Amino acid sequence: MDEILDEIALRWALRDIIARRHRFLRVSEAKIQRLRELQWVEDRDGEVEVTEAGRQALG
């Protein structure tokens, strides 16, 4: 069950990053690191950006 909750939380973090809410809602560094490991986000010009793979993960 925890794995499912983690996946849901990661997808919400992706949505927050796309909408630029992560600056206000403070997505944890652990979640951002996990998203990097999945190659769902990357750093561009000092900003966290969602990759095409991240967008596809959202469906």
Instruction: Spell out the residues 6+ positions from residue 22 whose beta carbon is closer than 8 angstroms to its own.
Output: 13, 16, 48
CB 16 within 8 A of CB 32: no
Helix (H) or strand (E) run with residue 8 in it: helix 2-18
**Residue 11 pLDDT exceeds 80:** yes
User: At 17, which amino acid appears?
Assistant: I
Q: Please give the single-letter amino acid code of residue 45.
A: D
Which residues does residue 49 pair with via DSSP β-bridges, in sequence order? 42
Q: Where are the domains of the chain?
A: 2-58
pTM score over 0.75: yes
Higher pLDDT, 1 or 49: 49
Closest CA to 27 of 13, 37, 12, 48: 13
Mean pLDDT across the stretch 13-21?
A: 92
